Amino acid sequence: MDNLYRVKIDSNKSNAPVVLERAFTDFKDYGEIEGVAVNPQTHELLVHSNRGKQIVLGMPKGFYPGYDREISEVYVYGMEPVCKAK
Protein backbone atom coordinates (compact mmCIF):
# COMPACT_ATOMS: atom_id res chain seq x y z
CA MET A 1 0.00 0.00 0.00
CA ASP A 2 1.03 3.59 -0.50
CA ASN A 3 1.50 6.02 2.36
CA LEU A 4 1.53 9.80 2.69
CA TYR A 5 4.15 11.33 4.96
CA ARG A 6 4.45 14.82 6.40
CA VAL A 7 7.66 16.59 7.41
CA LYS A 8 7.48 18.76 10.51
CA ILE A 9 9.80 21.65 9.63
CA ASP A 10 11.25 23.83 12.39
CA SER A 11 13.42 26.70 11.15
CA ASN A 12 15.48 26.49 14.35
CA LYS A 13 16.62 22.92 13.71
CA SER A 14 18.83 21.32 11.07
CA ASN A 15 16.78 18.13 10.84
CA ALA A 16 13.07 17.39 10.76
CA PRO A 17 10.99 14.39 11.83
CA VAL A 18 8.89 12.53 9.27
CA VAL A 19 5.36 11.64 10.36
CA LEU A 20 3.02 9.11 8.73
CA GLU A 21 -0.01 11.20 7.75
CA ARG A 22 -2.15 8.49 6.13
CA ALA A 23 -1.89 4.89 5.01
CA PHE A 24 -4.07 4.40 1.95
CA THR A 25 -5.60 1.11 3.11
CA ASP A 26 -8.93 1.93 1.44
CA PHE A 27 -7.62 1.74 -2.15
CA LYS A 28 -9.42 -0.93 -4.16
CA ASP A 29 -6.24 -2.70 -5.28
CA TYR A 30 -2.50 -2.19 -5.44
CA GLY A 31 -1.26 0.43 -7.86
CA GLU A 32 0.60 3.68 -7.68
CA ILE A 33 -0.21 7.23 -6.73
CA GLU A 34 0.22 9.54 -9.70
CA GLY A 35 -0.64 12.83 -8.06
CA VAL A 36 -1.69 14.55 -4.85
CA ALA A 37 -3.37 17.95 -4.59
CA VAL A 38 -5.28 19.99 -2.03
CA ASN A 39 -8.41 21.94 -2.89
CA PRO A 40 -7.92 25.18 -0.89
CA GLN A 41 -11.64 26.05 -0.91
CA THR A 42 -12.94 22.72 0.42
CA HIS A 43 -9.80 21.57 2.32
CA GLU A 44 -10.04 18.21 0.57
CA LEU A 45 -7.04 16.06 -0.27
CA LEU A 46 -7.32 14.64 -3.82
CA VAL A 47 -5.27 11.55 -4.63
CA HIS A 48 -4.99 10.28 -8.22
CA SER A 49 -4.23 6.56 -8.26
CA ASN A 50 -3.68 4.15 -11.16
CA ARG A 51 -3.93 0.37 -11.05
CA GLY A 52 -3.78 -2.50 -13.51
CA LYS A 53 -0.76 -1.53 -15.65
CA GLN A 54 2.48 -3.31 -14.83
CA ILE A 55 5.45 -0.91 -14.71
CA VAL A 56 9.00 -2.30 -14.78
CA LEU A 57 11.93 0.11 -14.47
CA GLY A 58 9.64 3.00 -15.36
CA MET A 59 8.32 1.37 -18.55
CA PRO A 60 4.82 -0.12 -19.13
CA LYS A 61 5.05 -3.91 -19.55
CA GLY A 62 1.47 -5.09 -19.95
CA PHE A 63 -1.17 -5.67 -17.31
CA TYR A 64 -1.40 -7.47 -14.00
CA PRO A 65 -3.54 -10.64 -13.89
CA GLY A 66 -7.25 -9.77 -13.98
CA TYR A 67 -6.75 -6.47 -15.82
CA ASP A 68 -7.10 -5.67 -19.51
CA ARG A 69 -6.67 -1.90 -19.09
CA GLU A 70 -5.35 0.68 -16.67
CA ILE A 71 -7.85 2.14 -14.23
CA SER A 72 -7.47 5.69 -12.91
CA GLU A 73 -9.30 6.77 -9.77
CA VAL A 74 -9.44 9.93 -7.67
CA TYR A 75 -9.89 9.47 -3.93
CA VAL A 76 -11.15 12.43 -1.90
CA TYR A 77 -10.34 12.92 1.79
CA GLY A 78 -11.52 15.66 4.13
CA MET A 79 -8.75 17.68 5.80
CA GLU A 80 -8.52 20.42 8.34
CA PRO A 81 -5.80 23.04 7.92
CA VAL A 82 -2.98 22.83 10.47
CA CYS A 83 -3.01 26.57 11.04
CA LYS A 84 -5.58 29.08 9.89
CA ALA A 85 -4.64 32.46 8.43
CA LYS A 86 -5.58 35.42 10.57
The per-residue pLDDT for 85 is 47
Q: H/E element holding 5?
A: strand 3-7
Cα dihedral sign for 29, 73, 32, 38? negative
Q: What is the pLDDT of residues 35-75, one digit of tens each?
A: 999 998 998 999 999 999 988 898 888 999 999 999 999 99
Nearest-5° Cα angle at 80, 15 to 42 = 125
Q: What is the pLDDT of residues 7-43, one digit of tens each?
A: 888 888 888 889 888 888 888 887 888 899 999 899 8
What confidence tier does 86 reach under pLDDT thresholds 50, 70, 90? very low
Q: What is the pTM of this model?
A: 0.71
Cβ(34)–Cβ(64) below 8 Å: no
At 41, the amino acid letter reads Q
Residues β-bridged to residue 47? 36, 75
Rounded to whole angstroms, the maximal C-alpha distance in the chain is 52
**Of residues 34, 23, 74, 72, the one with CA closest to residue 51:** 72
The per-residue pLDDT for 1 is 67
